[in-house]
Amino acid sequence: MIYLVFSVNFRMICFLLTILLLFGPIGCLNFGPVSLKSERSKYNMAIQKTNDEQLLLNLVRLKYRDTPFFLEVSNVASQFRMKNKVSAAAQLESMVKDIFNLGASSSFEESPTVSYTPLQGDKFVKNIMSTLPLKTITLLFQSGWSVERVFRVCFQMLGQLENAPGASGPTPKLAPQYKEFLQSVKYLQELDDRDALRIIYQEPNGQPQMLLQVSDDAKTSKPALEFARSINSIPSLKQYILTHFPTPDQVQHFPVIMNRGKELRIVPRSLLGMLFYLSQSIEIPKRDLLKGKVTLTKTAKGEDFDWFEVTGELLTIRSSDEKPLRATVRVFYRDTWFYIDDSDLNSKSTFSLLTQIYSLQSGSIKSTEPILTIGVGSR
């Protein structure tokens, strides 16, 4: 009797093993797509999150006059291994019906490896310290960013109007000039809101230029006339030429008409200048202000200057002793949490614009040799 039971169950084991061997590889064929579907979005979110944290961290470093440093994720490789296990146990005892115990299990193991590359060297330094090309600024406007946001972040001068040029470096001691520039670009924004403004990039004889074109219907409108007045230009002009060259003798080799106000000298910021400029939007803890860890800007009357007047509508980076719960991005630095509130849409938009500019300026010069490759472990 025991022999018969053993014979029947032995055949059952052989049958189950055959099924596992036949259909196990089929499961492996589906394992790749399934793992890709579940893991890709996780890596995507992790890299995006850490990139934002690094950019915010460097803004805070610049405010404290600490050295910024950029470390990029250059490669992510992940290996998956699937393990199948079959077990069988038997108790050869009389008067026992189920003398065989069968078991089977499958598991997978992931081994990610991350490679990091530092952004440094002469090419990177030159790129972040060179003024942003007019072609890139035009591209930002044409891709949907508002003219006010682009001009305020990217330009430090428009004609004779200053947009806190001293803020393109370490925090200045004296309050900047900025109000007339801000009002001027608000007039341009009003024209843009009416769909009455176009910005075109051109290179006559290799000279980079941006053309501001106002539609016929809007050239005598209030924002168009006020913009012309703010830059000391002729009223009702349909086109303004923005160029790096400020004087007729510097452009004598180029066929540019030097009408009063029609051609405006513009001075873009560098990427580093933009980072310094936007670092002024950080709320510094009072204890650090009292200890003199950051520069205090003063007005002509000797009063404390509030940088929120310059950057408040663009970006606000808050600080807290406690870990913020409603933050779209946050970093812990110098015993303080610095963060952007998730409900602050203006700040989120400006920060997103900054990430795009950073990618445009640094993306083409990344080294192909990683400095550090780390096996993150398995799970």
Give the containing element (helix H, strand E) for 101: strand 100-118
Q: Which residues contact 180 (CB under 8 A, 6 or more apart)?
A: 161, 162, 230
Residue 265, SS3 per DSSP: strand
| H or E element in which residue 32 lies | helix 2-63
Which segments within 221-287 are labelled E, that is strand? 239-243, 263-268
* 163 dihedral zone (left: phi>0; alpha: psi -120 to 50; beta): beta
- Both ends of the chain: CA-CA distance in Å? 47
Res 360: pLDDT: 86
- The C-alpha atoms of residue 337 and residue 53 are separated, in whole angstroms, by 12
Question: Which segments within the chain are labelled E, that is strand?
Answer: 71-90, 100-118, 155-158, 161-162, 197-202, 209-214, 239-243, 263-268, 318-320, 327-333, 336-341, 372-375
Any bridge partners for residue 85, and if so which?
105
For residue 76, the SS3 value is strand
SS3 223: helix
Q: Which residues is 109 bridged to in the sheet? A: 81
Can you give the pLDDT at residue 85? 58
Q: What is the model's pLDDT at position 253?
A: 44
| Contact status, residue 56 vs residue 330, Cβ threshold 8 Å | yes
Query: Treating both helix axes as pointing N-terminal to C-terminal, what angle do 345-362 and 2-63 enclose, rounded to 10 degrees?
Result: 90
User: Could you give the 3-state DSSP secondary structure of residue 142?
Assistant: helix
Tally of CB atoms within 10 A around 284? 20
Cα separation, 311 vs 297, in Å, equals 14
Determine the Cα–Cα distance for residues 212 and 263; give it in Å rounded to an integer: 10
Calculate the dihedral angle through the C-alpha atoms of 48, 53, 56, 57, rounding to the nearest 10 degrees.
Answer: -140
Provide the whole-model pTM: 0.78
Strand order in the sheet with 209-214: 161-162, 155-158, 263-268, 239-243, 209-214, 197-202
Q: Token pair for residue 46?
A: 């992790």
| Residue 312 dihedral angles phi and psi, to the nearest 5° | -55, -40
**Domain parsing of the chain, residue ranges:** 2-49+79-114, 122-365
158's enclosing H/E stretch is strand 155-158
pLDDT of residue 118: 72
* pLDDT by residue, tens only, the chain of 379 residues: 444 444 545 565 555 555 555 555 545 545 555 555 556 677 788 888 989 999 999 999 999 999 998 887 777 666 656 555 555 555 555 555 555 555 555 555 666 677 777 766 667 777 788 899 999 999 999 999 999 999 999 999 999 999 999 999 999 999 999 999 999 999 999 999 999 999 999 998 888 999 999 999 999 999 999 999 999 888 888 999 999 875 444 444 444 444 455 788 999 999 999 999 999 999 999 999 999 999 999 999 999 999 999 998 999 999 999 999 999 999 999 999 999 999 999 999 999 999 999 988 876 555 545 555 555 555 5
Report residue 246 CA to chain centroid gap: 33
